[in-house]
């Protein structure tokens, strides 16, 4: 309110009135003047005391009234308890005297400005307004009305405002304003409009009235009047009171009139003012206005707020929000929005369409499993729905792309009359499921689904592939006859196609015949395969087929052709060049091309020192030197093998060869020593008796035959009774072991070792005993047996025991203890399987002990041995990436993970995708983090834990981006769909923190 009252104004009037009506007298007048002077100086206490003094003067009636009024005013100003009483008494005592109005005004203003409006109203009622001029009258009437107004007594306030407003005084504008407000509140619309418009003509109320009038028009639903009134006001003035509310009323009016452009403009103006909050319904309208304009990003901003609750408005908001995201090609957000709308049952039409669009948007973003589930739910809930035909078409297409093949097959099995599209989809999906089972080595299941796939032979190439994979599965299972049959069926179809699986089938058939020892037939197919693949850029298995073709010639004793084949492989830089060199040397030896053979063995030994064939080469070279009677070179060659590979199974034979070479060189002492070592350290080797005879002969030549009896006694002690009973017991124990009757095997080997503690078969028995305990998971007993071998001389059994000890320590989490055992096993492995097993153990041990550079080098070694053991390469890639992260090689780690995720749809690939997305998140690349999961997670849906972790990560990303609606929808979906209890609990905990 603009009205302000000066407290002492009425006092001035009073003084003036009295001073004009009283003559100065030399008697009592100075006393009165002194009292007035004290009052003027606001010395109210002194003025009051002066009145209370005894005075010898006789005062006139006017002087007494003057003194009494001044005394009452002083008491009021002092807040004396009797002040109001004195003033009321004065008024009552002086009837119609002109000063009574002054007293009433003074008392009323006193209470009015003290905000004691009840007392103020009562005091003003004592004033006879008819005796006041218009200005004072309008003022008193306004104050009376205002006092009742602030006491919320609009009924009593209104008449006073009505009287004040018509007097045409400045304060009348205030009266019009409050009168209009009361009329507005009471529903007297026309009166409110008239009064407020009148108030608005004043400068003060010109900025305040537009809000009230706009509110009035809005409440009336008078949208045309609202627009025609408010729009000019907004244009005229920039400092209107509650301007943002005028924008809001205009937005609502324009929305009702479907003028979405103006509605959107005014909703935005209200929001941007940041002086209030829209209701959820208004937020919804703002979103729809933007949606109708095609401003879908801004529509999403509004609708995701109004979609936050599970009610009819939330359902409608979610529905339109889904469409807004579709328009932005944001299929993930669209999916979660439609899901929320489909889960609500307030509007059945929206519910049906939302469910269909939920499925469709999932298909658009590549989430075929969710899309199929949605289409399945739609067709079940709405068998005659308006989208049924389109849903069936989409379903047939989606079934082919899903990773949940079993569910897809179940869905198609329920369709009795399968359309051509469904039959084609069935063939593919059953084939894909067979490949999943093949990957997991669940061969019976793979065969079953390949057969199911071929029940609908729509695609001939896929039938060919099915026969090929059946061949692969039978071959892996050892059923070579069935494998040959399946490969032949593939070839019968493939002759008329360009399928790549024709060549694969030829290669597989070659191996099936090779492993069946049908070498002539194997040769035919390996020859066919190599001829086909030689000139191609992608040679696939060409290198291996070349080696097998050479082996086929060799086994058939066609040495010349075998030699040419291995020479060609070497010239071509075959990936198995070390094997080719070894086999070429063997073939040349058979053709008496011994020097050429030695040259090739030398090349293998010098150029490929870590080859798996290095021991064979060293031994073979020694043998050829012996054939050539080059005894010194033979002895040196055998010595090199013994020195470099002390665990080699060739050691007894190398010792024998060196003994014979030294015998020929008449180095009899060296000969005797080598024979003695064979008898002492390898008494059960096949050449032990040969060594015994050679020792006897050499000792005789040296005239030392007497020593032979000592060696013979030692040998007999290791082989009592000619070895017959001991061997029977040992072989019986071995039979139990190979029959996997490990419990009985442990007892049998334990008894054997107790009965024959010095047996030459002790080392073998210790290994079999330890491994039997290992298979029974009795690891303490296994370690005790293996550790006895640890102290024995080098041997293949000791090497295998070292690998087992490393595996046990690894399983127990003793990673540092495991490392030396596994390193020994890896460096001395006799074949690739043993090497890969040891490297996989080392990979884990190095990772757990934070030896990250060793992790990377070991992983790279494993990558070169790809395919030897399932999942060795994905394990290597995953560990390598973790090590790269630990070494702050983020870019390199992301490249490694990208390869892993792209090439291996395994549990390692699933974890790799999570780590890749997490890396993007930590770098602030939220959108890339989400997109990597949306685009690549489909094949990993079977790995519940990591699949769930990915979408928990997405929920966190949404929260970080301020997308709480999407985060909640994602978490709700996880709770509903995950198969992993831990993931479900994590999602529920996050949801609870958001609610």
The whole-number average pLDDT for the span 264-285 is: 94
Q: What distances in angstroms separate CA 690 from CA 121, 695, 722, one per listed residue?
A: 136, 9, 15
Structure tokens at 108: 């009323």
What is the Cα–Cα distance from 737 to 771, expressed in whole angstroms?
9
Residue 872 contacts residue 865 (beta carbons within 8 Å): yes
What is the Cα–Cα distance from 338 to 411, expressed in whole angstroms?
23
Residue 903 contacts residue 911 (beta carbons within 8 Å): no
Residue 279 has pLDDT above 60, yes or no: yes
Of 809, 111, 437, the closest CA to residue 126 belongs to 111
Structure tokens at 908: 């390692």
Q: What distances in angstroms separate CA 630 from CA 594, 602, 637, one per listed residue?
A: 12, 15, 11
In three-state secondary structure terms, 80 is coil
- pTM of the shown model: 0.59
Residue 718: how many CA atoms within 13 Å on its side-chain side?
Answer: 20
Q: Cβ-count burial of 759 within 10 angstroms (0-12 exposed, 13-18 middle, 19+ buried)? A: buried
% of the chain exceeding 90 in pLDDT: 50
The whole-number average pLDDT for the span 350-363 is: 94
Lowest mean pLDDT among 40-54, 266-280, 354-368: 40-54
What is the Cα–Cα distance from 785 to 805, expressed in whole angstroms?
10
Q: Quick one: CA torsion of 240, 245, 250, 253, rounded to 10 degrees?
A: -150
Residue 302 contacts residue 336 (beta carbons within 8 Å): no
What is the Cα–Cα distance from 633 to 624, expressed in whole angstroms?
10
The whole-number average pLDDT for the span 705-726 is: 69
What is the Cα–Cα distance from 256 to 233, expressed in whole angstroms?
21
Residue 152 has pLDDT above 80, yes or no: yes
Residue 844 contacts residue 815 (beta carbons within 8 Å): yes
* CA distance between the termini of the chain: 45
Q: Collect all residues with Cβ–Cβ distance below 8 Å to 974 and sequence separation of at least 6.
A: 948, 951, 952, 955, 983, 984, 987
What is the Cα–Cα distance from 775 to 756, expressed in whole angstroms?
24
Domains in the chain and their CATH numbers? Answer: 905-995 (1.25.40)
Q: What is the pLDDT of residues 612-626, one digit of tens each?
A: 899 999 999 999 999
Residue-level pLDDT at 61 = 64
Residue-level pLDDT at 16 = 36
Q: What is the pLDDT of residues 160-178, one digit of tens each?
A: 989 988 888 888 889 999 9
What is the Cα–Cα distance from 819 to 807, expressed in whole angstroms?
10
Buried b (16+ CB within 10 A) or exposed e, 520-556: ebbbbbbbbbbebbeeeeebebbbbbbbbbbbbbbee
Residue 97 contacts residue 128 (beta carbons within 8 Å): no
What is the Cα–Cα distance from 623 to 631, expressed in whole angstroms?
10
Is pLDDT larger for residue 494 or for residue 380?
380
What is the Cα–Cα distance from 640 to 633, expressed in whole angstroms?
10
Residue-level pLDDT at 237 = 76
Residue 618 contacts residue 641 (beta carbons within 8 Å): yes
Residue-level pLDDT at 20 = 39
Residue-level pLDDT at 200 = 86
What is the Cα–Cα distance from 404 to 362, expressed in whole angstroms?
14
What is the Cα–Cα distance from 819 to 845, expressed in whole angstroms?
6
What is the Cα–Cα distance from 918 to 932, expressed in whole angstroms?
10
Task: Please report where in the chains the tokens 């009205």 appear, as a residue.
Answer: 3
Residue 238 has pLDDT above 70, yes or no: yes
Q: Give the CA angle between residues 569, 570, 576 to the nearest 5°.
A: 75
What is the Cα–Cα distance from 698 to 674, expressed in whole angstroms?
11
Is pLDDT larger for residue 730 or for residue 451?
451
pLDDT category, 46, cuts 50, 70, 90? low
Q: What is the pLDDT of residues 894-913, one digit of tens each?
A: 999 999 998 888 899 999 99
pLDDT category, 21, cuts 50, 70, 90? very low
Radius of gyration over alpha carbons of the chain, in Å?
52
Residue-level pLDDT at 60 = 63
What is the Cα–Cα distance from 797 to 649, expressed in whole angstroms?
10
What is the Cα–Cα distance from 811 to 821, expressed in whole angstroms?
13
Residue 876 has pLDDT above 90, yes or no: yes
Q: What is the pLDDT of residues 940-992, one digit of tens each?
A: 888 899 999 999 999 999 999 888 888 988 998 899 888 899 999 999 999 99
In three-state secondary structure terms, 513 is helix
Q: Angle at which helices 260-273 and 296-306 pack, to 10 degrees?
A: 60
The whole-number average pLDDT for the span 628-647 is: 92
The whole-number average pLDDT for the span 865-870 is: 74
What is the Cα–Cα distance from 871 to 877, expressed in whole angstroms?
10
Residue-level pLDDT at 24 = 41
Residue-level pLDDT at 10 = 32
Buried b (16+ CB within 10 A) or exposed e, 593-609: bbebbbebbebbbeebe
- Helix (DSSP H) and strand (DSSP E) numbers for the chain: 54, 0
Residue 326 contacts residue 360 (beta carbons within 8 Å): no
Q: What is the pLDDT of residues 558-574, one digit of tens each?
A: 999 999 999 999 999 99
The sign of the CA dihedral 83, 86, 91, 92 is: positive
Structure tokens at 580: 């080719």
Residue 475 has pLDDT above 50, yes or no: yes
Structure tokens at 143: 């104050």
List, as own/partner pairs, every contact residues 813-820 make where C-beta atoms lie below 8 angstroms and the sequence separation is at least 24, other chains included.
813/848, 815/844, 815/845, 815/848, 815/849, 816/845, 816/849, 818/845, 819/845, 819/846, 819/849
Residue 530 contacts residue 503 (beta carbons within 8 Å): no
CB atoms under 10 Å from CB of 805, counted, come to 26
Of 374, 359, 372, 297, the closest CA to residue 330 belongs to 297
% of the chain exceeding 70 in pLDDT: 91
Q: What is the pLDDT of residues 476-524, one digit of tens each?
A: 899 999 999 999 999 998 766 667 788 999 999 999 999 999 999 999 9
Structure tokens at 693: 């005879």
Q: Collect all residues with Cβ–Cβ distance below 8 Å to 81 and sequence separation of at least 6.
A: none
Instruction: Looking at 22-151, list the stretches that DSSP marks H as alpha helix, in order from N- to C-terminal side.
Output: 29-40, 44-52, 61-77, 83-93, 99-113, 117-124, 134-150
Residue 226 has pLDDT above 80, yes or no: yes
Residues constituting the chain:
995
């Amino acid at each position: 309110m603009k009205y302000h009252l000066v407290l002492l104004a009425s006092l001035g009037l009073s003084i003036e009135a009295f001073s004009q009506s009283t003559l100065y007298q030399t008697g009592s007048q100075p006393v009165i003047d002194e009292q007035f002077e004290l009052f003027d100086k606001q010395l109210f206490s002194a003025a009051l005391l002066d009145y209370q003094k005894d005075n010898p003067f006789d005062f006139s009636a006017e002087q007494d009234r003057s003194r009494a009024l001044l005394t009452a005013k002083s008491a009021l100003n002092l807040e004396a308890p009797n002040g109001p009483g004195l003033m009321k008494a004065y008024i009552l005592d002086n009837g119609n005297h002109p000063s009574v109005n002054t007293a009433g005004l003074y008392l009323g203003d006193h209470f009015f400005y003290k905000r004691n409006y009840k007392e103020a109203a009562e005091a003003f009622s004592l004033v006879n307004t008819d005796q006041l001029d218009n200005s004072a009258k309008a003022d008193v009437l306004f104050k009376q009305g205002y006092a009742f107004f602030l006491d919320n007594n609009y009924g009593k306030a209104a008449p006073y405002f009505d009287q004040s407003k018509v007097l045409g005084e400045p304060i009348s504008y205030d009266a019009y304003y409050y009168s209009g407000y009361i009329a507005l509140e009471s529903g007297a619309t026309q009166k409110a409009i008239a009064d407020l418009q009148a108030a608005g003509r004043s400068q003060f109320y010109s900025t305040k009235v537009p809000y009230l009038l706009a509110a009035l028009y809005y409440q009336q639903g008078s949208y045309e009047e609202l627009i025609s009134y408010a729009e000019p006001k907004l244009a005229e003035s920039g400092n209107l009171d509650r301007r943002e509310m005028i924008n809001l009323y205009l937005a609502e009016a324009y929305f009702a009139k479907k003028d979405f452009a103006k509605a959107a403009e005014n909703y935005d103006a209200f929001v941007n003012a940041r002086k209030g909050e829209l209701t959820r319904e208004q937020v919804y309208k703002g979103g729809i206005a933007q949606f109708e304009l095609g401003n879908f990003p801004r529509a999403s901003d509004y609708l995701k707020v109004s979609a936050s609750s599970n009610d009819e408005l939330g359902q409608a908001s979610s529905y339109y929000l889904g469409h807004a995201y579709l328009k932005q090609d944001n299929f993930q957000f669209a999916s979660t929005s439609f899901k929320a709308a489909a889960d609500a049952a307030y509007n059945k039409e929206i519910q049906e369409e939302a469910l269909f669009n939920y499925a469709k948007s999932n298909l658009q973003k590549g989430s075929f499993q969710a899309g199929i589930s949605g289409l399945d739910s739609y067709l079940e809930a709405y068998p005659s729905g308006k989208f049924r035909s389109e849903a069936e078409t989409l379903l047939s297409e989606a079934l082919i792309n899903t990773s949940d093949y079993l569910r897809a097959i179940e869905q198609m099995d329920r369709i009795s009359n399968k359309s051509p599209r469904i039959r084609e989809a069935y063939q593919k999906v059953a084939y894909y499921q067979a490949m999943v089972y093949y990957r997991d080595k669940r061969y019976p299941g793979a065969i079953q689904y390949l057969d199911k796939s071929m029940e609908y032979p729509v695609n001939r190439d896929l039938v060919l592939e099915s026969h090929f994979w059946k061949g692969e599965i039978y071959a892996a299972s050892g059923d070579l006859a069935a494998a040959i049959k399946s490969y032949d069926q593939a070839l019968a179809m493939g002759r008329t196609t360009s399928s790549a699986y024709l060549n694969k089938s030829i290669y597989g058939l070659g191996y099936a015949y090779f492993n069946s020892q049908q070498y002539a037939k194997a040769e035919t197919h390996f020859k066919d395969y190599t001829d086909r693949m030689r000139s191609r850029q992608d040679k696939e298995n060409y290198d291996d087929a070349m080696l097998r073709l050479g082996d086929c010639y060799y086994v058939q004793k066609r040495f010349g052709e075998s030699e040419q084949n291995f020479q060609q492989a070497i010239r071509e830089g075959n990936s198995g060049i070390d094997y080719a060199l070894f086999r070429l040397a063997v073939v040349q030896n058979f053709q008496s091309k011994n020097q050429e053979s030695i040259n090739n063995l030398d090349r293998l030994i010098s150029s490929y020192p870590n080859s798996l064939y290095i021991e064979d080469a060293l031994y073979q070279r020694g043998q050829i030197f012996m054939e050539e009677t080059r005894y010194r070179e033979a002895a040196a060659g055998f010595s090199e093998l013994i020195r470099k590979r002390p665990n080699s199974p060739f050691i007894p034979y190398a010792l024998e060869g060196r003994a014979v070479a030294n015998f020929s060189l008449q180095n009899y002492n060296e000969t005797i020593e080598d024979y003695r070592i064979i008898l002492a350290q390898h008494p059960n080797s096949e050449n032990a008796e040969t060594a015994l005879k050679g020792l006897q002969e050499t000792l005789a030549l040296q005239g030392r035959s007497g020593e032979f009896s000592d060696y013979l006694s030692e040998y007999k002690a290791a082989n009592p009774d000619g070895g017959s009973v001991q061997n029977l017991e040992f072989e019986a124990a071995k039979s139990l072991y190979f029959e996997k009757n490990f419990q009985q095997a442990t007892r049998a080997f334990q008894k054997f070792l107790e009965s024959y503690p010095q047996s030459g078969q002790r080392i073998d028995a210790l290994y079999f005993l330890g491994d039997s305990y290992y298979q029974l998971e009795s690891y303490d007993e296994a370690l005790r047996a293996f550790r006895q071998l640890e102290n024995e001389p080098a041997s293949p059994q000791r090497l295998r025991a070292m690998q087992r000890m490393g595996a046990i320590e690894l399983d127990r989490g003793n990673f540092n203890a495991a490392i030396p055992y596994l390193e020994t096993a890896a460096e001395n492995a006799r074949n690739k399987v043993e090497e890969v097993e040891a490297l996989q153990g080392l990979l884990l041990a190095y990772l757990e002990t934070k030896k990250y550079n060793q992790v990377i080098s070991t992983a790279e070694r494993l990558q070169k041995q790809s395919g030897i053991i399932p999942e060795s390469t994905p394990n290597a890639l995953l560990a390598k990436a973790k090590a790269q992260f630990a070494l702050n090689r983020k870019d390199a780690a992301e490249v490694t993970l990208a390869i892993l995720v792209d090439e291996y749809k395994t549990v390692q690939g699933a974890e790799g995708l999570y780590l890749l997305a997490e890396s993007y998140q930590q770098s602030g690349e939220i959108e890339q983090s989400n997109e990597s999961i949306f685009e690549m997670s489909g094949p990993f849906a079977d790995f519940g834990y990591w699949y769930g972790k990915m979408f928990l990560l997405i929920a966190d990303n949404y929260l970080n981006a301020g997308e709480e609606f999407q985060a909640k929808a994602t978490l709700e979906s996880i709770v509903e769909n995950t198969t992993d209890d831990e993931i479900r609990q994590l999602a529920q905990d996050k949801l609870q923190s958001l609610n």
